Amino acid sequence: MDIARAIDLEIEAQAAKARQVELSKELDICPGRLDINTVGATDVAYDKETDRAYAAIVVLDAKTLEVIDRASWSGMPGYPYVPGLFSLREASCLLEAFRELETVPDVIMVDGHGWAHPRRFGLACLLGWALDTPTIGCAKNNLAGAYDDPASERGARSAILDGEEQIGVVLRTQDGINPMFVSPGHGYDFETAADVVMALAGEYRIPEPLRQAHNYSIELRAADAEALGADAEEVES
């Protein structure tokens, strides 16, 4: 998959935050397509001891929710951990994996925030901008703004507000469980982003594409750990 725009991994933190505000103006927050055929999803797992990253991307058939393509990358992140700039760190890994992806999905679901970000430029926005592809942020926790809890039934939703501005949607994907925090990254607005996430919610709180991406990232990390363990045993013997 082609990378439409390169991200600057040499930029200093203060300049990076200002750049986020500038780039947010280039995003297209508009009603997105609902008749999608394929959906991509991302996740990054980390080794707690070495900080090595395992970036995973899966592409699912939007109707059957079967995985039809996937790609990965592992290595050290290209940007340090800086509070408020975690999106740069994750994107440095995920964009390498996207280079290996053969299928261009109709929309990409991102394990993180989009517009619901202090500078309106979370990971879903950065990936949407860099790939020039529609993206939706879908996170397990709130990052910015305030909200009222939606009703307890599956599909209930409420707005995330920063003052009077809507920046996201709180979406109940299953009856009586904690909601997901959805916001557009690029090529979607609040309602169509939530509609897509709800359509892809299977039996679990986390929508199926993101669940598959998470499983893949953990699989990659485990395989690497197993390989390293085997190498250590071989050296010892």
In a domain, 148, yes or no: yes
Contact 184, 137 (CB under 8 A): yes
pLDDT digits (tens, 9 = 90+) for 188-227: 999 999 999 999 998 999 999 999 999 999 999 999 988 8
- Domain of 178, CATH number, reads 3.30.2170.10
Residue 94, SS3 per DSSP: helix
Domain count, the chain: 1
Query: What pLDDT score does 237 carry?
Result: 41
In a domain, 5, yes or no: no
In a domain, 92, yes or no: yes
pLDDT digits (tens, 9 = 90+) for 43-88: 999 999 999 999 999 999 999 999 999 999 999 999 999 988 999 9
Q: Which of 48, 101, 46 is nearest to 75 (CA)?
A: 46
In a domain, 236, yes or no: no
Q: In the beta sheet, which residues pair with residue 58?
A: 41, 70
- Structural domain boundaries, residue 141: 13-229
In a domain, 235, yes or no: no
pLDDT digits (tens, 9 = 90+) for 106-144: 999 999 999 999 999 999 999 999 999 999 999 999 999
In a domain, 38, yes or no: yes
In a domain, 2, yes or no: no
Edge-to-edge strands, sheet with 146-147: 67-75, 53-61, 38-46, 107-110, 135-139, 180-186, 165-171, 157-162, 146-147
